[in-house]
Structure 1
Amino acid sequence: MKLDIVMFGLSITSSWGNGHATTYRALIKALAARGHRITFLERDVPWYRDHRDLTSSPHCRIKLYDSLRDASQHYGSMVAAADVVVLGSFVPDGAALGDWITSIARGVTAFYDIDTPVTLSQLATNSSACISPSLIPRFDLYLSFTGGPILQLIKGMYGSPRARALYCAVDVDVHKRVRVPTQWTLGYIGTYSDDRQPLLEELLLEPARRLPKHDFVVVGAQYPSTLTWPENVRHIEHLPPGSHAKFYCSLRYTLNLTRQHMAAAGYSPSVRLFEAAACGVPVISDCWPGIEEFFVPEREILLASSANDVVNMLSKTGELEHRKLAAAAHERVLKNHTAEIRAAEFEGYLKEVISQPANAPSVEAV
């Protein structure tokens, strides 16, 4: 099955301040390796235009458009003829774009929600610009970064014929063990967000204050200029994806923090979990429902809910345990969480749609 796939996404050209780009790059690379032909359509907006770290790709065609009218004029025939058309979350004017896509596409249509709990929160308050409740049943597939009970909600409350988990994944060609000196005891990659900042304060900045002889690092854009960092914490505004492996491998531990909507929904792993583990770096994470579906606590990942937890982990975990954590997490990622695995899952969902009559409900329970 070799398919022509068209994807509309927030951004593949810029990883600045968003995690969508690395997700699209990894998935598309894996799909292309399986023989599919992909065109990625991205709205040309100033923020990403000014921070592009990818202008072309050997794995897909990248096309930019200025507006829905521009997209319809230049790419309407492509969308209509494609075997699969995917609309990602947080695409500007996504609801209008989705209405157009589902009106003209003759192939399989899918909504790829990289922000599922946020999307559902906005749907509940009629504030979502990327999809509407009436639009969800028109997509053959609702592919969600969040699994667990929320899939039944998407099916039962919003009428999706098929709600399926398509979690984030890691490109193991980019994220892998490299030999670099250890520079920091604990590091974190993440764009600033108001709801995540208290966790960063509790699980990294406060431990840094209590462990003044250790060095810490935070990588991410949009942190307020008024924020005061402890003296032993370095802030780096941005690292391109190609530098992530060296960064992770320069850490003794990496920290994973989850936004409130994601933590409340559970079953929402961050790609940073998989990237760090693929680089052979032990992960300390905040706690949320379903995390044990992805890593076994205490064997493949460490869970912390307070600064005391982090301080104890950094101070008292022996070298043998440290190595065992890293090895176990690395093995788990290669077995369950690579982009190649996600591409195969994506294909399986498409086959499920193709094998059944249009608009028929799936026989597989969600």
Structure 2
Amino acid sequence: MKIAFYGSSLVSSYWNGAATYYRGILSALAGHGHDITFYEPDAFDRQQHRDIDPPSYARSVVYPATADGLRSVLERAGEADIVVKASGVGVFDAELIDGIVRHAAPHALKLFWDVDAAATLDEMRGDPDHPVLRALPDLDMVLTYGGGPPVVDAYLGFGAAECVPVYNALDPATHHPVPADDRFACDLAFLGNRLPDREARVEEFFLRPAAALPDSRFLIGGNGWETKAMPANVRHRGHVYTAEHNAFNCTPRAVLNVARDSMASIGFSPATRVFEAAGAAACLITDAWEGIEQFLVPDREVLVARDGQDVAEHLSTLTAERARAIGDAALARVLAEHTYALRAVQVDALLRDRVARVREAA
């Protein structure tokens, strides 16, 4: 089937944390015979910071971030069997979701794919004229990249016809163990852009243990941290390209996952870095959130921290041997249960069934 996907960016992860999720899901879906076109705006300097060339599994269409550019790609929606608007494109989000409803063919399946459901739901609660809320009666389904029962219940309560979580996962061809790289040598590393709803948790789970362990080495990667005051034992790497993620995860004694505020409060929302780190057989320390056991077993496949003190205690007692054992166990778990190939089986069956229903109704 032909899929028209309107998202932030497929070719660049610059200020675009959903890039590896899009790549994993769409490359695996293409393996089921789908013909995918990904439409992304030329915005936020993403095209100047590409991680990959246009991939073979999807046509990459970059359009000017202008009204004319938007119009030119929305007109193509009518050619598709499945039309998808992802959250967080960053420009013309309201116009895009209105546009896919207006331009999709009568027989087409119309989806909203929410890669930040907790934040979207918070916005909808505060804005009765939110564009997603307006569009829900005309959408066939909402997919989310996490959130579990709380997000499903919330979307159904807002009037969604159906809501299905499609969790982050691992693409083992992209994220896997590699030799250590001295550029990323440290005791604890964290990778994530500086965002308002994450910064306080980074202060607690990363900077607080750094201050408590002055003899340990800490490394932070991602955009925006260059102006942040940090302890002397913290080194800032800046933007880390996806080609460097494996070395970033493999080299430190442990790597840290810190959820954004909204995702931590809802739970059931493992970030892409959880599976990237596990795929590289890294020893992962994550902040505590409900549902972690669904993905990795605490103390055996992941270390869980309630606060910065827990992180410091984990690091103080973590030997190289135990770190390797935890990383190896995490890798085995995600390869068995949490790959994008497995997610694509779920999504492919879901899409084919719902397209058949929509065509029958049309």
Instruction: Provide TM-score, normalisation by structure 1.
Output: 0.90
SS at match of 1:23: helix
Which of residues 11, 19, 22 is equivalent to 2:20?
22
Q: Distance in 2 between matches of 1:315 and 1:181?
A: 23
Aligned length: 354
In structure 1, the residue matched to 2:180 is: 180
In structure 1, the residue matched to 2:262 is: 261
In structure 2, the residue matched to 1:45 is: 43
Write 1 or 2 for the structure with the bigger share of helix.
2
In structure 2, the residue matched to 1:168 is: 168
- 1:323 Cα deviation after fit: 2.7
Deviations 1:259-291 (A, max 9, x none): 111111111110010000000001111111122
Q: Distance in 2 between matches of 1:319 and 1:22?
A: 29
Code of the residue aligned with 1:54 in structure 2: it is I
Code of the residue aligned with 2:61 in structure 1: it is K
More moved, 205-214 vs 230-239: 205-214
Q: Distance in 1 between matches of 2:293 and 2:55?
A: 35
In structure 1, the residue matched to 2:296 is: 295
In structure 2, the residue matched to 1:194 is: 196
SS at match of 1:132: helix
CA 1:128–1:42: 2 relative to 1, 3 Å: farther
CA 1:75–1:111: 2 relative to 1, 3 Å: closer
Matched, 1:112 2:113: yes
More moved, 193-202 vs 330-339: 193-202
Code of the residue aligned with 1:163 in structure 2: it is C
Q: Distance in 1 between matches of 2:218 and 2:360?
A: 52
More moved, 78-87 vs 273-282: 78-87
Q: Distance in 1 between matches of 2:27 and 2:267?
A: 28
Q: Distance in 2 between matches of 1:318 and 1:63?
A: 48
Code of the residue aligned with 2:85 in structure 1: it is L
Equivalences for residues 109-258 of structure 1 within 5 A: 109-126=110-127, 131-145=131-145, 146-155=147-156, 157-180=157-180, 183-223=185-225, 225=227, 227-258=228-259
Q: Is the 8 A contact 1:171 1:339 kept in 2?
A: yes
Q: Distance in 2 between matches of 1:191 and 1:48?
A: 14
- 1:251 Cα deviation after fit: 1.2
In structure 2, the residue matched to 1:103 is: 102
Q: Distance in 1 between matches of 2:54 and 2:129?
A: 31
Q: Distance in 2 between matches of 1:8 and 1:185?
A: 39
- 1:55 Cα deviation after fit: 4.4
In structure 2, the residue matched to 1:12 is: 10
More moved, 30-39 vs 107-116: 30-39
More moved, 67-76 vs 304-313: 67-76
CA 1:150–1:233: 2 relative to 1, 3 Å: same
CA 1:214–1:306: 2 relative to 1, 3 Å: same
Q: Is the 8 A contact 1:179 1:249 kept in 2?
A: yes
Q: Distance in 2 between matches of 1:237 and 1:197?
A: 16
Q: Where does the alignment leave 5 or more consecutive residues of structure 2 unmatched? A: none
Q: Distance in 1 between matches of 2:33 and 2:58?
A: 11
Q: Is the 8 A contact 1:277 1:283 kept in 2?
A: yes
Code of the residue aligned with 1:219 in structure 2: it is G
CA 1:205–1:339: 2 relative to 1, 3 Å: same
Deviations 1:22-52 (A, max 9, x none): 2112222212233221111011224323433
Q: Distance in 1 between matches of 2:360 and 2:94?
A: 20
- 1:64 Cα deviation after fit: 1.8
Q: Is the 8 A contact 1:68 1:97 kept in 2?
A: no
In structure 2, the residue matched to 1:60 is: 58
- 1:197 Cα deviation after fit: 2.0
Q: Distance in 1 between matches of 2:86 and 2:132?
A: 13
- 1:13 Cα deviation after fit: 2.6
Q: Where does the alignment leave 5 or more consecutive residues of structure 1 unmatched? A: 361-366
Q: Distance in 2 between matches of 1:14 and 1:235?
A: 21
Q: Is the 8 A contact 2:13 2:242 kept in 1?
A: yes
Q: Distance in 1 between matches of 2:360 and 2:32?
A: 27
SS at match of 2:148: coil
In structure 2, the residue matched to 1:364 is: none
- 1:127 Cα deviation after fit: 8.3
What is the RMSD of the two structures over their aligned residues, measured on CA atoms?
2.1
Instruction: Provide TM-score, normalisation by structure 2.
Output: 0.91
Deviations 1:101-124 (A, max 9, x none): 122323211111001000011111
Q: Distance in 1 between matches of 2:67 and 2:52?
A: 23
- 1:359 Cα deviation after fit: 10
Q: Is the 8 A contact 2:219 2:235 kept in 1?
A: yes
Q: Distance in 1 between matches of 2:309 and 2:30?
A: 46
Code of the residue aligned with 1:310 in structure 2: it is V
Code of the residue aligned with 1:190 in structure 2: it is G
Q: Distance in 2 between matches of 1:313 and 1:175?
A: 25
SS at match of 2:189: strand
In structure 2, the residue matched to 1:363 is: none
CA 1:286–1:141: 2 relative to 1, 3 Å: same
Q: Is the 8 A contact 1:122 1:128 kept in 2?
A: no
- 1:152 Cα deviation after fit: 1.7
Percentage identity across paired residues of the two chains:
33
Q: Distance in 1 between matches of 2:18 and 2:179?
A: 28
Q: Distance in 1 between matches of 2:84 and 2:38?
A: 9
